[in-house]
Every structure is written in C-alpha cells, then in structure tokens.
Chain A
Amino acid sequence: MDADLIGRAQRGDEEAFASLAVAAGDRLHAVAFRILRDTDLAEDASQQALLTIWRDLPQLRDPARFDAWSYRLLVRACYAEGRRTRRWAPNVRLLPANEPEVAEGLSSVVDRDQLERGFRRLSIDHRAVVVLHHYLDLPLDEVADVLGVPVGTVRSRLHHAMRGMRAALEADARPATREAAQ
C-alpha cells in the first residue's frame, strides 16, 4: 500500500483515505465474506472495518504494516458481526477423525453445500485462520501476527479446522455413498 497515501490519511486527509478504501475495500470484503459466509454480514463487517481503519489510522506507526493491521481490524469486525447475529454455533464441532474412511475419494462427493456446512461448523477463530492461510496465502507467522496470537495457536487452529473440514466432508459424503450402495 502506498505509504504516502497512508501518511496523508493518518493526518486526516479524507481524499487519501478514499483512495486507500478503494484499493483495500475489495480484498477486505472478500475476506469478510469468506469468514462470515453471508453477504450482508460481510458488508457490515467491511464497513465497520473501514471506519475503524479511518478512526485508528493515526495509531499505526509503521505504514508497511497497513495490510496486516487492516486484516486484524477486519477479523475483529467479523467477530463482532458473529457475536451480534449468532447465526452459527460459536464453537468448533469436531467430528471424530478416526471414523471409518469412505471408499471413494473426496473429489467425487464434494460439492459446495458440503463445504459450506463443514465450514459453518467452525468457529470464527478457526475460519479466520483458514481464510487467512488458504485464501490470502499468508504464512502462519503472518497469520499469527494478524490475529495477535502465538504461531502455535495458529498451527493448532488450522490443524483442528482442516481436520474438522475433512471429517465433515467425509461424514456428509457417507449417507450419499450408503444410498448409492443400496
């Protein structure tokens, strides 16, 4: 992100901030949607995050950290939206990882609904790690930096999230496989 733009916006230049918001708005919204899985909630979170960025921008001491800092504020906004709406279960619901494997590979049974269901079972904490790592391609240490938690915590959350996704996918696939065999 343009350090000059950031500096001007930090000093209250609304036009500079508008340029920043245009440049950052799409990627923030994309991340918010992927964490929240709801267009309306994602718009609310994006709006909240952008206003928070404007409000707190003077506190950002290193413009090079703008991206990571903005993601942090966005994830917080997503937490707030999640708490406000409570449209999903707040905690991870892990399915046993040692259940019998289905015969077929995931690729034959995976569809969007299964992925959606599996992902919605995850907490916002776990979704954020998955999105930051697998969508934004942030390395784990940067994910930890964004979320303000130790790298070990990120690693643990990612492990549990992906295990939960896999178990959910396979569990969702099982009835279809059974029906197909009957």
Chain B
Amino acid sequence: MSTDRDVNRIVRSWLEEGVSALPDRVLDTVLDQLPATPQRRAPWPVRRFGEMNSFTKFAVAAAAVALVAFVGVTLLPRSGGVGVPGPSPTSNPTQTPSPTKAPSPSTASNVNVVGNFVPGTTYVMRDSCCTPPGGISLSVPGPGWFTIDSVILGKNVLGDPDLYDIYLSPHHPGNLYTGGCNWRGTALDPPVGPTVDDLATALVAQAGPGASPATPVTVGGHPGKKVELSIPDGLDVNTCDSDGDFPIFGRWYTGAMLNFSAAPWTYGDAQHNTVYIVDVDGTRQVIDTMFLPGTSAANLAELDKVVASIRFESPSASSSPSP
C-alpha cells in the first residue's frame, strides 16, 4: 500500500518536470502592448476616511484646509473666476449648453487630486489614459464627492461604503464589444469609426431594441451626443465575464485591450449609464456617468451639475499653470 507521503513525493517530482522559461516572444508581446495598456487605479474606494486612524484623519483634514485656503487665496480676487462658488450650474447639461469653450485655469495643487472634493473648488483630471492633454476641469455642487485615483469621481449614495454608487469618468474608447455580458472574444467588425456620431450610433445599436436614440448635447461648450444605456433588467451581472477583478457588462475597450479590459465598470444589476460623447476640437472625448437604481433625484441632479461644470482645458494650460 502506498502512503500519502509516496503520492506527495511522486507528484512533487513530476511537477518539477516540464517547461519553465517564458518564451521571449511572449515577453516581447507583453512589452509591446504596454504603451497601449493604460494602468488602472483602483476603481473602488479601498480605504475610506472612516477607516483612517486619527493622525491620518488629521493630516488629511489639514491638507484639505490648506488646499482650500490656497485655492481661495489664489482665485478669489478674480471676479467670477474658477473656484468661486457662483450661481448653481444647471441641473441638465443637455438643456443648457455651456456658453464658452474657454479653458479653465489650473494650478499644480488642483490637478489629479485624490480624496474628497471641496464643493465650489475646481479640480482638473489629467491622464493620458482618458482625458484631453490639458485635462478636464470640473467642480462638485455638494459634499461627499471623492476620488481615489483622480480619474473617477464618485459618491456613495446608497449606503455601500466600498463602491461608488454614482460616478463620472472620462474615457477614450477604441472599439466596442458586441457581447455585452459575455464580452470576451467579441468586437465590432469593422471597428467603430472615429467620429462622435460613429460611436453614438454604434452604442445605440449595441444596446439593441428599445434603446433610445442618441440626442444632441453640449458639454464644456463642445458639441456632442448623449446616449442612455442600461444593463438589461433581470440580468445578474455576477454571471458576466470578468476583467480579472469584477464581472463587467462590457461595452467598449481601449486600444489593444481587447479581451483584457472592458468599460464602463459595472457596480450592480440594472446599472444605468449616461454616456456623453463630445467633439473636443476634432478629438472624440467620452464622459461616462453611472448611477444605480434607487439613487435619489437630488443625487442625480448633483451628477448633472458635475457634468455641467466640465471644461476641457487646452494643452497649454497644463504646461503653464495659472498662478
């Protein structure tokens, strides 16, 4: 009779056999894809304010106060300038287009801020993954908005402290998946064209029967289209293909990310996304917003106000910050 130790020894010996070296061509393929594979910051709040120790809370609070003071001192003298709380923006960006294309000034201290956003302060998201070169400036109308990675701005409104329940995030979709829940291995062929209308039309077609047509919209003074997308009723998103971390109802991917990553991120069944597709001086820019069923009208209005506050900064603004 053989013992367990015999089996362990035999299996261990057998496991030692076989290939060990990763072929160079595989490594080369990986390295070749790095430029087209943006790194991803955590799309979920792993560690929130409430979990910090007292010292950390104090430090973050002090930093926030300093930031507010700095921005206030810097911007208050400008009549009607960025950072001065003014009249509330409109609640619906589709109804009241922003009047100008003038870029908002940015300072080094308000670019890619991570943490809680102070209402009335203008922040800039700037990342080659998903924003114009100069970045996207925006502000929040009330407390509770935060970001942990600088390119997803969200809020907990349904009581789940670990997930954004509403969010806004910039994207640069490359092509669409056709599979939805089972997105791996699917891609629009031929790929979606380069214009705003190309993407809007394709997203509506992807959504299938009953989808609303794309509607005209103006964001940050730039024309575009708005598309409303919902995960089909009754679909358990936990059954969808995963991107490695979470199941996702996949609609688009970026660059060479086919079968590797999908967007927009999925946070729950029946999630609704309003996707703004904007022509920013000839370049297509997507602003994805999301909310889950049960989100209050007041919070949806806040989300609209954040979108209405968006300005697309010129590249020169990023290289020559305003004082």
Contacts and interface: CB of A to CB of B under 8 A. Distances in A.
B41 A166 contact: no
Interface stretch (A54-62, A88-96, A138-146): A54-62
Contacts of A169: 7, 10
Contacts of B12: 134-135
Given A54-B37, A56-B244, A57-B39, A33 B18 contact: yes
Contacts of A153: none
Q: Give chain A's interface secondary structure class.
A: helix
A62 B27 CA distance: 25
B240 to A, nearest CB: 13
A118 to B, nearest CB: 9
A112 B26 contact: no
Interface in A9-65: 10, 12, 14, 17-18, 21-22, 25-30, 33-34, 39, 42-43, 46-48, 50-52, 54-59, 61
Given A22-B27, A76-B244, A166 B4 contact: yes
B26 A47 contact: yes
A162 interface: yes
A52 B10 contact: no
A58 B39 CA distance: 7
Contacts of B184: 80, 84
Contacts of B35: 14
A6 interface: no
Q: Which of A14, A33, A110 gathers the greatest number of chain B CB atoms within 10 Å?
A: A110
Interface in B168-195: 184-185
Contacts of B244: 52, 56, 73, 76-77, 80
Contact of B2 (A34, A59, A166): A166
A18 B12 CA distance: 31
Q: Which of B1, B11, B38, B185 gathers the greatest number of chain A CB atoms within 10 Å?
A: B11
Interface string B41-59: 1100010000000000000
A168 to B, nearest CB: 10
Interface residues of B, number: 42
A101 interface: yes
Given A54-B34, A55-B37, A59-B41, A165 B11 contact: yes
Interface in B193-207: none
A112 B20 contact: no
B78 interface: no
B6 to A, nearest CB: 5
Q: Which of A14, A22, A51 gathers the greatest number of chain B CB atoms within 10 Å?
A: A51
Nearest 7 interchain pairs by C-beta:
A25-B22, A29-B22, A106-B2, A30-B20, A135-B15, A166-B7, A50-B30
Interface of A: 10, 12, 14, 17-18, 21-22, 25-30, 33-34, 39, 42-43, 46-48, 50-52, 54-59, 61, 73, 76-77, 80, 84, 101, 105-107, 110, 112, 115, 130-131, 134-135, 162, 165-166, 169-170
Interface of B: 1-2, 4, 6-8, 10-12, 14-23, 26-27, 29-31, 33-35, 37-42, 46, 149, 184-185, 242, 244-245, 260-261
29 contacts: A12-B39, A14-B34, A18-B31, A28-B22, A33-B20, A39-B19, A47-B26, A47-B29, A47-B30, A50-B30, A51-B33, A52-B260, A55-B37, A55-B260, A55-B261, A56-B40, A58-B42, A59-B42, A80-B242, A84-B184, A101-B1, A105-B2, A115-B14, A130-B11, A134-B11, A135-B15, A162-B4, A166-B2, A169-B7
